[in-house]
Amino acid sequence: MELAGKRFLVVGASGELGGRLARALADRGCRVVVAGRDESRTEGIAAELGAPSVELDLLDPVSLGAAVATAAEPYDGLDGLLVATGAVAFGRSGELEPAVEAELMRVNAEGPISLIGAALPHLEAGGAVVALSAVVADYPTAGMAAYSASKAALSAYLSALRRERRRDLEVVLDVRPGHMETGFAGRALAGEPPPLPDPEDVEAFVTGVIDAIVAGRRELRYDLRERKLIAA
């Protein structure tokens, strides 16, 4: 996929990874629209990139259609959607509060799935859907069962979407990163993180995602044995 001139909505741009990916897309010549949970940080990156921003509540599926339509207005349409949102909680099965487990499913699976569905009518033919699931979709992890399940649900959806929209979308990319030092684990909804592996290099990760979009890849995952990103 040629990125120069493409119009991307980046959701989660107020986070470390979402912000870096928005910058990387802009550096490749994309016209971006940003949305994020933290209003001040979202406005900051919008000002930095000279990009429009849009209010978007990932947990309010009824509002998403109107929000995506608003995001499409500045550039008369969209060519891509990048979803870099998520939440984590730590705790064994039966130890997490049911409300926390439900929140994980809403933030990590239901919200992104609803958002992608709302965006599809606005994406031009040959467009792209890119979403960050997580390494636990490949390697469900003890002490993180609910989190693993929520990310695996998003990954399964992306796999089916790729088959359904193979004639409409050039790229449906499921990105499954490993642990990175972004402060994400420290913002857990519950519990304390277990000992974590050596962190993945954030800059290398961002470059890998952009390269995978350009190459039309289906998956970008972190292989725990080889300790590196693998594209497919």
Catalytic residues: 147
- Asked if residues 224 and 197 have their Cβ atoms less than 8 Å apart, the reply is yes
- Asked if residues 177 and 132 have their Cβ atoms less than 8 Å apart, the reply is yes
Question: What residue has token string 């979009």?
Answer: 213
Supply the DSSP symbol for 199: P
- Phi, psi (deg, nearest 5) at residue 220: -140, 110
Burial of 11 (0-12, 13-18, 19+ CB in 10 A): buried
Instruction: Please give the structure tokens belonging to residue 216.
Output: 């039309």
Q: Give the span between the Cα atoms of 222 and 210, in whole angstroms.
A: 15
CA distances to 117, 154, 157 from 114, rounded to whole Å, are: 5, 11, 11
Q: Pairing between strand 219-223 and 228-231?
A: antiparallel
| Crossing angle for the helix pair 16-27 and 202-215, to the nearest 10 degrees | 50
CA distances to 9, 124, 160 from 111, rounded to whole Å, are: 15, 22, 17
- Asked if residues 3 and 28 have their Cβ atoms less than 8 Å apart, the reply is yes
